[in-house]
Structure 1
Amino acid sequence: MTTASPSASRQAWLVVALLVPVALLNYLDRQMLATMKTSVMEDIPGIALEANWGKILAWFKWTYAILSPVGGYLADRFSRRHVIAGSLFAWSAITWLTGHVTTYEQLLATRAIMGISEAFYIPAALALIADYHRGPTRSKAVGFHQMGIYCGVILGGFSGYAADSAHHGWRWAFDVCGLVGLAYAVPLFFLLKNPPRDGAGVAASKTSPFAALGELLSNRSFLLLVAYFTLPALAGWVVRDWMPAILKAEFKIGQGKAGVSAALYWQSAAIVGALAGGFLADRWMKRSQRGRIWVSAIGMALIVPAMFGVGYSPQTGHLEVAIAFLILFGLGWGFFDCNNMPILCQVARPELRATGYGIMNLVSISCGGFADYGFGALRDRGVPIFGIFSVFAATAILSVILVLLIRPRETDSGLPPISH
């Protein structure tokens, strides 16, 4: 493989730099609602039950999940750049609108529409990064992008303080984030570029939806990756969406402190995990084609004790115990998260990667929606936290087995390198 030119390498990393703020906004808009749960429920009394709150979280995920393969296919078939910029503009408008709802039904509707608009971003963004970063920088580049996601969740954790503020409130936070996203969508559209495609790539991008679906679903390694991607999401979404409320209730702390404790530490650990896991995976790939799989499996192995520990921590009465195990969870999650698209790149050809990631999102986030709703229902029935998180630990053990069964292959052969 020949060395890429300096200008091509700069363009490849510019794409990552442009997308990091978008990833931040993508998850900030999601995390704020979970962090500001108490204020929103007090302001909109029609929500009433924990199960209804879980339904709000679930409707976002279900619409997001259903539309993810569609967004991925459009990004593969047409322009990743257009899909990314259009998605940012649409969800930012909905974020602003969320700050102006007055009823439970309106909030349910805006979250569902938010899911539709955000569904088009992640598959297109990760596929675009993979297009530019072929081989020795792929996991690192994805890790840097995921860092934006973790920073968005961290900032979302601080939104509890804005919700508690007499001068701001939860609606103000949605207004500001919506306007920032709308403003950034315009320069992003002009600065982001699609990489050039050769003749074979252009022809392959015209694959029909049914042919693309058939090719992916007949790929055993892809199906294993879908299952591997899905099982940890049951824990991941509950940790993101419910942990502020869990810590507030179990440790009798304020909404602001609970939001920060639930997001800052484990997301900071996830940043370290994503950067370290990306670097380690790219290095390991020089010695073995299974390097990224091994690094991802190590991360999943860290999640197992983390889930047991988080579930047991309320019995200790010490918030620090919960935070320590959340940090362990974050490290494992970073190792896992930065390698999902790179592993997909080892089992699916370039023209199907956004579609493939969309399918992964469809299955994973649909199950995450049921996990959110189910967690709320179980909490209404008084099921112990430790029992629920023990199930999450068991799914992580199964995930380790699944990822080790994946058989990678060369899918970028014949393509010129863009980044080294």
Structure 2
Amino acid sequence: MKNSGQTTSFYSWIVVAMLWIVAFLNYLDRILITSMHDPIVMDFKLTDAQFGLLTSVFLWSYGFLSPFGGYLADKYSRKKMIVMSIMVWSAVTLWTGFATSFHEMLAARFLMGVSEACYIPAALALITDYHKGKTRSLATGLHMSGLYAGLALGGLGGYISELWGWRSGFHIFGIIGIVYSFVLLYVLKDHNVEPSEDEGEKESVSHKMSLTGALKVLFSEKSFFVLLFYFTVLGMVNWIVYGWLPTFLKDHFHLDQGEAGISATGYVQAGSFIGVILGGILADRWTRKNDKGRLYILIIGFTIGAPFLFLMASTNIFGIAILAMMVFGLARGFNDANLMPILRQVSDQRYVATGYGFLNFLSTIVGGLMVYIGGALKDAQIDLSIIYQISAGMMLLATWSLFAIKLKKNNTQN
């Protein structure tokens, strides 16, 4: 690629900064509910399986619509999909705070999943449109740190529910998101390919194809299947961790609700903040010398992080559990800084948002199933520590499967 294609403009970083706030709200709004387990269960008289279903329904609708949301971002406008997404999910967050029945809560969580499905594929595609090889992993990682901030502060839901009731958090953050969507409407811009950029990339912008046609192209690459398997297992592990970690810490280490909520998100996300920046910088530098630099950073992450997840589930010492959560978070950071850049190295550039959307599809469908199964197993008196130990082993095997990926060399810097 010509040097002009490698220039990173000031506005490219403004895009990352604007979308950081969206990413923060994206995960905060979806995760608030997990740290409010006790008051919501008491208010609606739910079983643990029913409470798990609130997250599962969100993940299933989010997963099923992700490929479609990614496809629309590829075919039409990244910006429009991002603005529409935050506007709708914030309105649904506000509505959640007014829900009066379990079935209304289910409906709200379903619609939140539909609206949020349009964000991540479009946002990551837009960021990697603006940022080429030398800054791509770092820019992606900085954006993903917004998700971690949302996850970390989502743990404050336990404290908010104790102080003002569980509904207050949904009201506050729903209003903030609606207001910010109008800011994005006027400030955010789609990436325009300059005449000096290569013809292949110009063709990628103008080319139109159906969703089934795009998926056919994506699935013609064997490496896409490997990424799909890996990301599916990652989704299972992540959501069984994030969905039930507050409850696990509360029961296993005898913490109160607020402390369990903030511990479950805070320590993991602290490690992720470090991992997403460190992993982005190291991957960008390594990839200048080796096309597989990003892939190796990702593999190193969970080769270390998965055993620490096992350790967290096995120890009775809270200090060791804190360390284990931070190392697992570090591995997640390595992953999040590099997954979309790796996808751009193995897939057709025209359909990267669609490809990421399909990865999200299977990942969240099985992730939602695991959250529900976690609740059902807990109802059956099966300890969450056993589930976490099994999850750690699965994560390690899925990570090592990435050695089978073959990269397209001409996509390394695109």
TM-score, normalised relative to structure 2? 0.95
Q: Tell me, in whole angstroms, the C-alpha distance in 2 between the residues paired with 1:283 and 1:339.
A: 12
- Assess, with a 3 A threshold, how the Cα gap between structure 1 residues 7 and 182 changes in structure 2: closer, same or farther: farther
Question: What residue number does 1:13 align with?
Answer: 13
Contiguous gaps of at least 5 residues in structure 2? 194-200
Question: What residue number does 1:131 align with?
Answer: 129
Q: Tell me, in whole angstroms, the C-alpha distance in 1 between the residues paired with 2:385 and 2:187.
A: 48
Question: What residue number does 1:353 align with?
Answer: 352
- Assess, with a 3 A threshold, how the Cα gap between structure 1 residues 327 and 84 changes in structure 2: closer, same or farther: same
When structure 1 is superposed on structure 2, of 295-304 and 354-363 the one drifting more is 295-304
Question: What residue number does 1:182 align with?
Answer: 178
Structure 1 residue 319 displacement after superposition: 2.2
Question: What residue number does 1:101 align with?
Answer: 99
**Residue deviations 1:156-186 (CA, integer Å, cap 9, x gap):** 1112111001xx2211110000000000000
Question: What residue number does 2:146 align with?
Answer: 148
When structure 1 is superposed on structure 2, of 275-284 and 398-407 the one drifting more is 398-407
C-alpha contact 1:248 1:258 (8 A) present in aligned 2 = yes
Question: What residue number does 1:418 align with?
Answer: none
Question: What residue number does 2:389 align with?
Answer: 390
- Assess, with a 3 A threshold, how the Cα gap between structure 1 residues 28 and 236 changes in structure 2: closer, same or farther: same
Structure 1 residue 311 displacement after superposition: 1.3
Question: What residue number does 1:80 align with?
Answer: 78
- Assess, with a 3 A threshold, how the Cα gap between structure 1 residues 414 and 170 changes in structure 2: closer, same or farther: closer
Q: Tell me, in whole angstroms, the C-alpha distance in 1 between the residues paired with 2:137 and 2:246.
A: 30
> In the alignment, is residue 193 of structure 1 matched against residue 195 of structure 2?
no
Structure 1 residue 254 displacement after superposition: 1.1
Structure 1 residue 309 displacement after superposition: 0.9
Question: What residue number does 1:222 align with?
Answer: 224
C-alpha contact 2:314 2:389 (8 A) present in aligned 1 = no
TM-score, normalised relative to structure 1? 0.94
Structure 1 residue 6 displacement after superposition: 11
Alignment match of 2:243 (pick from 241, 244, 247): 241
CA RMSD, 1 decimal: 1.6
**Residue deviations 1:55-107 (CA, integer Å, cap 9, x gap):** 11100000000000000000000000000000000000000000000111111
Question: What residue number does 2:285 align with?
Answer: 283
The code of the aligned residue for 2:252 comes to E
C-alpha contact 2:156 2:261 (8 A) present in aligned 1 = yes
C-alpha contact 1:73 1:355 (8 A) present in aligned 2 = yes
Structure 1 residue 7 displacement after superposition: 8.8
> In the alignment, is residue 295 of structure 1 matched against residue 297 of structure 2?
yes
C-alpha contact 2:218 2:348 (8 A) present in aligned 1 = no
> In the alignment, is residue 53 of structure 1 matched against residue 51 of structure 2?
yes
Equivalenced residues, count: 407
Structure 1 residue 199 displacement after superposition: 4.5
Q: Tell me, in whole angstroms, the C-alpha distance in 2 between the residues paired with 1:254 and 1:411.
A: 53
C-alpha contact 1:131 1:350 (8 A) present in aligned 2 = no
C-alpha contact 1:24 1:150 (8 A) present in aligned 2 = yes
Q: Tell me, in whole angstroms, the C-alpha distance in 1 between the residues paired with 2:383 and 2:203.
A: 55
- Assess, with a 3 A threshold, how the Cα gap between structure 1 residues 199 and 309 changes in structure 2: closer, same or farther: closer
Q: Tell me, in whole angstroms, the C-alpha distance in 1 between the residues paired with 2:202 and 2:364.
A: 35
Structure 1 residue 125 displacement after superposition: 0.2
Q: Tell me, in whole angstroms, the C-alpha distance in 2 between the residues paired with 1:384 and 1:102.
A: 32
Structure 1 residue 42 displacement after superposition: 1.5
Question: What residue number does 1:257 align with?
Answer: 259
C-alpha contact 2:272 2:330 (8 A) present in aligned 1 = yes
Q: Tell me, in whole angstroms, the C-alpha distance in 2 between the residues paired with 1:384 and 1:170.
A: 27
Structure 1 residue 8 displacement after superposition: 5.3
The code of the aligned residue for 2:217 comes to E
- Identity in percent: 40
Structure 1 residue 203 displacement after superposition: 3.2
Q: Tell me, in whole angstroms, the C-alpha distance in 2 between the residues paired with 1:325 and 1:414.
A: 35
Q: Tell me, in whole angstroms, the C-alpha distance in 2 between the residues paired with 1:397 and 1:135.
A: 28
Contiguous gaps of at least 5 residues in structure 1? 416-420
The code of the aligned residue for 1:371 comes to M
- Assess, with a 3 A threshold, how the Cα gap between structure 1 residues 134 and 170 changes in structure 2: closer, same or farther: same
Q: Tell me, in whole angstroms, the C-alpha distance in 1 between the residues paired with 2:304 and 2:8.
A: 37
Q: Tell me, in whole angstroms, the C-alpha distance in 1 between the residues paired with 2:388 and 2:172.
A: 35
C-alpha contact 2:133 2:412 (8 A) present in aligned 1 = no
- Assess, with a 3 A threshold, how the Cα gap between structure 1 residues 6 and 297 changes in structure 2: closer, same or farther: closer
The code of the aligned residue for 1:341 comes to M
Question: What residue number does 1:158 align with?
Answer: 156
C-alpha contact 1:34 1:241 (8 A) present in aligned 2 = yes
C-alpha contact 1:350 1:411 (8 A) present in aligned 2 = no
C-alpha contact 2:132 2:413 (8 A) present in aligned 1 = no
- Assess, with a 3 A threshold, how the Cα gap between structure 1 residues 70 and 411 changes in structure 2: closer, same or farther: farther
Report the 3-state secondary structure (helix = DSSP H, G, I; strand = E; otherwise coil) of the residue aligned with 1:289. Answer: coil
Structure 1 residue 3 displacement after superposition: 3.8
The code of the aligned residue for 1:275 comes to I
Alignment match of 2:205 (pick from 199, 202, 213): 202
The code of the aligned residue for 1:300 comes to F
> In the alignment, is residue 343 of structure 1 matched against residue 339 of structure 2?
no
Question: What residue number does 1:44 align with?
Answer: 44
Question: What residue number does 2:198 align with?
Answer: none
Q: Tell me, in whole angstroms, the C-alpha distance in 1 between the residues paired with 2:5 and 2:18.
A: 20
**Residue deviations 1:266-300 (CA, integer Å, cap 9, x gap):** 10110100000000000100110000000000011
**Residue deviations 1:329-380 (CA, integer Å, cap 9, x gap):** 1011111111110100101122100000000000100110111011111111
Q: Tell me, in whole angstroms, the C-alpha distance in 2 between the residues paired with 1:199 and 1:288.
A: 26
Q: Tell me, in whole angstroms, the C-alpha distance in 2 between the residues paired with 1:208 and 1:218.
A: 16
Structure 1 residue 53 displacement after superposition: 1.0
Q: Tell me, in whole angstroms, the C-alpha distance in 2 between the residues paired with 1:237 and 1:51.
A: 15
The code of the aligned residue for 2:110 comes to A
- Assess, with a 3 A threshold, how the Cα gap between structure 1 residues 15 and 52 changes in structure 2: closer, same or farther: same
